[in-house]
Amino acid sequence: WQIVTQPELHQMQSEQYSQWMVPFIEQLIPLFEAIGDPEPQNAATFYAITLDTVMGVIVLGNDLFDKEKMLSILTKRFIDFKGGSP
């Protein structure tokens, strides 16, 4: 809530997050290009954000979901993914 109500805190957190996330996304784009994804930048961004969110939930609220089910969904979406729309 403080990030939303304090613009300077929001800007600082946003910049730090971008500095960490953008290089990760840029490394993923060629992987999605190689598997023939029609929108490799969007797929890489979605993948990175999904993993970041799941990691946060695992750390902060692992009692909120079935970890094995989440891993199964991630595997189906990204590891068994053959390119194109799921």
Residue 74 exposure: Cα atoms within 13 Å on the Cβ side: 16
Predicted confidence (pLDDT) per residue in 8-29, tens digit: 777 777 788 888 899 999 999 9
For 56-84, the pLDDT digits (tens) are 777 777 777 777 887 788 788 777 755 44
The whole-number pLDDT of residue 29 equals 96
User: How far is Cα 63 from Cα 67, in angstroms, rounded to an integer?
Assistant: 9
Q: Between 43 and 73, where is the model more confident?
A: 43
3-state secondary structure at position 39: coil
The reported pLDDT for the residue numbered 82 is: 57
Q: How far apart are CA 35 and CA 55, in angstroms?
A: 25
